[in-house]
Structure 1
Amino acid sequence: MSDVDDAISAARSSWARISDTGDGVPTRARSRRTASIAKRLTWIAGAIVAILVAATLWGLVAPLGIMGAVLVMAVMVAAVLFLSFVPGQRAAPPPEKLKTVDIRALPAQTERWLGAQRGALPRPAQVLVDRIGERLDTLSPQLARIEPQTEEAFEVRRLVGEQLPAFVNDYARVPDTLRTVERNGRTPDAELVAGLQLIEREIADMTARLAQGDLDNLQTRGRFLEMKYKDGDETG
């Protein structure tokens, strides 16, 4: 079995672990969907309460009557329908924008773009997309503290804003009928999984490198506290 086959097998195992039900929806995607539904329900509830309050106040001034009650119900139904179908999230940014977006916003923008492509990818790749999304969440706070013109920022932009979208787009242009056909010892599906695995590992490495200073500071301060207070307690 090749390394790529091992990667696909591991991804499938991860899929089984992170799926909280048998419907094929991983925890990360389910959480985003649940949050979106909860937000929409909050909007609907708020709109209904506002309409009822307005109708009550109006009724204190002049009786609504049957026609007024019907009008209130119609407005409530219209508000519910509008808030049910209005887009809940902004459209994913085009890949071209990822090349120029502010470095601090790049992880979130790339994650949104990647999430929009997720449904068109094979399941093992979808698992890796979810894991890359988690890596990007972890990377984002680190980028808030670096200058946009540093080599570290350029390296992140090359991988996250350019190479990752280009790689997924290359796969998307392959006809569906050819994605499982082996070519030079590897199918396009396997090529996609292997590449996403490399990208995920590299993002994790970038995060670790950017956090190195904080890790060193924590270790230094911990040693200082031990020398100052632990030794003092023993002598006391």
Structure 2
Amino acid sequence: MAQVPSRVSQDVVRAARRQRAARIYNARKEQWRFRMRRLRRAFLAMAGIYIAGLVAALALGGVSFLATLLTVLLGLAVFVVLSIFPASPRTHVEDMNAASLPELAGATELWLEGRRKALPNAAVDAIDMIGVRLEQLSPQLAVLDERGPAAREVRKLLTEHLPGMVDSYTRIPAQLRGRAGSGGTSPSEQLVDGLCVIADQIEAMSEDLSRNDVDALATRGRFLEVKYQGEE
């Protein structure tokens, strides 16, 4: 079975998991804040409808039972709709493409976190390592020229190669994902190996950016293209 490369120590993996736990905790807190804001908005809208109905009844000297019933039902319907919509925000590939460079690492991590349940358990360590590498890369992206070749290579890795690999795996029927193919490895093992390569490439790109080595970045981009085309 494919595993995270041995050069990645277990201490690093444990640190990655701790960082992931902290990120998930913060993300869940933000989700609860979003839900509470949504409920507060729904309650205020319902209260506004009832207050408006009460004011109208006082101004008109009373209203019919049917008007009262319709007002109550309208308030309840508005509360239900506003307490459900808009749905909690989720990151899609389109959001990653539209993200600015300073936002790209965070958008990629949120997207990958949302796909975690669809991936095999063996990929957990590799996903955690990608999260750590993205955190390392994020400060460098904040000062990178959006129109430069380095930005294009980073975007290609995070918005094309990574989503393409994950989406290709999830399109495979579940009963076939653990079955070895003609190359002797299963789709699940290939996915884990590919995620490890992505994690290594993100780290290498971060090192290239720290040296301002644009040529090395371009070489890594061509390597990934050849590798994925060969696997497909």
**Alignment TM class, shorter chain as reference:** 0.5 to 0.7
The one of 126, 141, 144 equivalent to 2:142 is: 144
2:45 counterpart of 1:47: no
- The TM-score with structure 1 as length reference comes to 0.61
Cα separation, 2, equivalents of 1:65 and 1:36: 41
CA contact (8 A) 2:106 2:138 kept: yes
Q: In the superposition, relative to structure 1, how do residues 212 and 83 fare at CA in structure 2: closer, same or farther (>3 Å)?
A: farther
- Contact 2:2–2:189 under 8 Å retained in 1: no
AA at the equivalent of 1:107:
A
Aligned length: 205
For 1:92 and 1:119, the matched residues in 2 are separated by: 15
Q: Which amino acid aligns with 1:158?
A: K
Corresponding letter in the other structure for 2:149: E
TM-aligned CA distance change 1:181 to 1:53, over 3 Å: closer
Q: In structure 2, what is the equivalent of residue 85 of structure 1? A: 84
Cα drift, residue 145 of structure 1:
1.8
Instruction: Call closer, same or farther: CA 1:137–1:69 in 2, change over 3 Å.
Output: farther
- Give the whole-Å Cα distance in 2 for the aligned partners of 1:210 and 1:29: 28
- Which ranges of structure 1 fall in alignment gaps of 5 or more residues? 21-25, 214-236
CA distance in 2, matches of 1:90, 1:194: 27
What is the CA distance between 1:121 and its match in structure 2? 0.7
Cα distance, 1:181 vs structure 2: 2.6
Distance 1:186 1:133, change over 3 A: same
DSSP 3-state at the match of 1:146: coil
Q: What fraction of aligned residue pairs are identical, expressed as a percent? A: 29
Question: Residues 62 and 108 of structure 1: is their aligned pair in 2 closer, same or farther, counting only changes over 3 Å?
Answer: same
Question: 1:59 deviation in Å?
Answer: 3.7
The root-mean-square deviation of aligned C-alpha atoms, in Å, is: 4.4
Deviation by residue 1:134-190 (Cα, 9 ceiling, x = unmatched): 543553443232112323213212311222122223322433223223344533222
Q: One-letter code of the match for 2:34?
A: K
Amino acid at match of 1:52: A
Q: Which runs of 5+ in 2 are unaligned?
A: 213-232
